[in-house]
Structure 1
Amino acid sequence: MKKVYNDFGFLLTMGAHILVSNSSANLTPAVSEAGTVLPGHLAVILSVLMVTLVVVVVAGNALVIMAFIVDKSLRNQSNYFFLNLAISDFLVGAFCIPVYIPYNLTGRWMLGKGLCKLWLVMDYLLCTASVFNIVLISYDRFLSVTRAVKYRAQRNMTRRAVFKMVAVWVLAFLLYGPAIIFWETIVGESVVPSHECYAEFYFTWYFLLSASTFEFFTPFVSVAFFNLSIYLNIHRRTRDGGACADDDAKPEPTAISAVIEDDDVLKQRSRLTRDKKIAKSLAIIVCIFGICWAPYTLLMIIRAACSGECVANYWYEITFWLLWLNSAINPFLYPLCHSSFRRAFSKILCPKRQSVQPQIEAQSC
């Protein structure tokens, strides 16, 4: 039997361990070689790391969801988008990663073709929904800075927020779901071996390129645009000495004027400070999103174009786990930037020492 570097084990051991594998060169999208069994100590290391990731993803996002239960003051349009993101990331940790772990360690899919398709649909759906939620949150922050007057007038419109949340899930499903379910029927045959689990379009580069345009490239450009627009808006206001925060600052209808009066306690200077914090958080969003998604997206397209012959499988495996790592980062990257969420978290974690008090305006970082 020949020796090969295991995909994820290669990263962890920095090339110091050589793993025993079958002589088969048929690489799967999940493991370096079909049928590979890891040595005991490496299997333990990988298992601990994977379980740790599951715990962080589930616990972090569950905390965000529980915050909405214990603190009704969080239930406004902006924070509902955080909830939507937390739900998608929570399900990644509660379902997608645990199902994948045995497959990753053993190299064989043992749950049948039906559960394979279900897992694929859920994995693609949840990861795509997470991306779309990030875009929705970024767009919401963009409006709160550049269209602050109208934004404050509409921030309590729950029905509009719910519609956007549902739209995220529908669009995320339509991007990959029908292809995963019906590709085999349309083509007339399956190219996936019975002991493996990956999408039928896994080596169809033109489909992956088209889907990636909507799943990564367009969202990344959109988030970057929102961040740049906020930066330019803040730069202009700073140059003008903290003048009006709104691009649409002009006489408004009576309903909007009433909202402005309610928010007069926020001076222009404090609003500018808040918006600078929002700009910084969106800059972090762009960087984290790009780091977690760009490597996987690019390698996936390249790998499909050359039928898996030009990219070592452990690189694909590393980028694959980066996607799920993003679900562990999100609950710390977004809600923890808001003092209202932090107070809710304190009430959940330290109920005897903290209490949640209503907040006039959530401060973003």
Structure 2
Amino acid sequence: MACNQSNHSNESSSPEMYLIIWLTFPLSTVIILANLLIIIGIIYNRKLHNTPNYFFLSLLFADLCTGLALPFIPSMSLERHMKFSNCLVLHIVPNFLLLSFLFNLVMVHYECYFCIVHPLQYSNFWVHRYVPLALPTVWILPLFYASLPAFGWNKRSPNQSCEDCFYKYIFPREFIYLEVYGLLIPAILAIIFMTVRVLWITRSQVKDICKLHRSVQRDEPSDKEHRMNMRYAKCVAVVSFIFIVCWVPYIVYVNVSTIALWQDKGESSTEPKTHIILSCIGIGSMAVIPVVLGFGNRQYTKPIRKGLRKLWDRCRKGNGTKDVTNVEVVLD
């Protein structure tokens, strides 16, 4: 009887699966291709083979894996029928990839933050000196936490006649609350704090440079000062845009999902389609952050631009030779 109910839930979830496919596949494809382009640009540029870019390369790989796992994350809210071992893999792997992405993002921001706040001590910084130790850390810690349900921290009932696959059977409430308010939210707040701190230091340095420039020139603000202020204003605008477009949807999704879980007494308190849309928009927008940072650095996209330029020149030369041969035929 329980098996029939789970099969019925699978049939009723088919419209939700179509919605997940239509929402996640285009976004997942864009994220995967964009990360591959930036990864190729970093690998083929030997000048970029240094500590900061190693961490950013690890972030790009984590973002690439998040793009691959993106179609599976919203499907966690759907109840299906499969073996418990397969259900564990279906829930643990996407959760691990999402956590590893966030850990890598925090590490990239922390490395940049320490370089700017303590430039004289950066060469002795443990992250800078022990890169082979720091890089596995941002992958092993998420793997350890995400694998806890496989070691017994789950809500599987021994009295179940059928092994229904649902996220509530894999992740206890305490596990979800600890992950959200012990890992995700503090990581986002740390990223915001480090970004604001770096912008504040940059603003004070720009003011000092302008004061020194005016003390030497003794005249009105020059074009250099205007350019520096404009660059700083653009940087603040880009950071604000990334926060509003990329972080706010994810924060809303996490809190709405946690509140719905807290109010849930048995059945789902939110519509599956609403949860699917929020998860796709929230996680997809967050996964775009490394892509925006990567394409914002011209050094990362230099090999790509060179390849496109060569391809464009070949196309123009090919069209030019065809035009010349057509002219010669007409003249003959």
TM-score of the aligned structures, taking structure 1 as reference length: 0.65
Matches within 5 A, 1:62-81: 62-81=36-55
Within 5 Å, give how 1:1-365 maps onto structure 2: 34-36=10-12, 38=14, 47-94=21-68, 96-98=69-71, 109=80, 112-151=83-122, 153=123, 160-184=130-154, 189=158, 194-198=163-167, 200=169, 202=171, 204=173, 206-242=174-210, 281-307=238-264, 309-326=268-285, 328-347=287-306, 349-350=308-309, 352=311
State how far apart, in whole Å, the 2-side matches of 1:75 and 1:128 are: 25
Contact conserved, 2:24 with 2:280, CA < 8 A, in 1? Answer: no
Q: 1:299 to 1:44 in 2, by over 3 A?
A: closer
For 2:272 and 2:131, the matched residues in 1 are separated by 41
What percentage of residue pairs aligned between the two structures are identical? Answer: 16
Q: 1:243 to 1:88 in 2, by over 3 A?
A: farther
* 1:74–1:169 CA distance, 2 compared to 1 (3 A): same
Alpha-carbon offset, residue 271 of structure 1: 8.9
Instruction: Name the CA distance, whole Å, in 1 between partners of 2:161 and 2:119.
Output: 51
Deviations 1:217-276 (A, max 9, x none): 1112111211221232133223334579xxxxxxxxxxxxxxxxxxxxxx9999998777
Q: Does the 8 Å CA contact 1:138/1:223 hold for their aligned counterparts? A: yes
Q: CA deviation at 1:201?
A: 5.1
Paired with 1:351 and 1:233, the residues of 2 have a C-alpha distance of 41
Shift of 1:87: 1.0
Bigger-Rg structure (1/2): 2
Return the letter of the residue paired with 2:181: T
Instruction: Supply the AA of the counterpart residue of 2:87.
Output: C
Kindly state the Cα deviation for residue 341 of structure 1 after the two structures are TM-superposed.
Answer: 0.7
Equivalent-residue separation in structure 2 for 1:306 and 1:45 (angstroms): 25
Q: Provide the rounded CA distance (Å) in 2 between the counterparts of 1:322 and 1:209.
A: 21
Indicate if the aligned counterparts of 2:38 and 2:301 stay in contact, CA closer than 8 A.
no
Paired residues in the alignment total 295
Q: CA RMSD in A?
A: 4.0
Is the helix fraction higher in 1 or 2? 2
Which amino acid in 2 is paired with 1:207?
F
Q: Which structure is higher in RCO with an 8 Å CA cutoff and minimum separation 6?
A: 2
C-alpha distance in 1 between matches for 2:159 and 2:41 = 45
- Please, which runs of 5 or more residues in structure 1 have no aligned partner? 1-23, 27-32, 245-266, 355-365
CA distance in 2: counterparts of 1:241 and 1:142, whole angstroms = 21
User: Distance between the aligned counterparts of 1:61 and 1:225, measured in 2?
Assistant: 26
Match of 1:259 in 2: none
Contact 1:60-1:332 at 8 Å conserved across structures: yes
Secondary structure in 1 aligned to 2:12? coil
8 Å Cα contact 1:220-1:289 kept in structure 2: no
In 2, Cα distance between equivalents of 1:324 and 1:147: 33
Structure 2 residue ranges without an equivalent (≥5): 213-223, 314-332
Structure 1 residues 125, 134: closer, same or farther in 2, change over 3 A?
A: same
1:124 is aligned with what amino acid? N
Aligned to 2:219: none
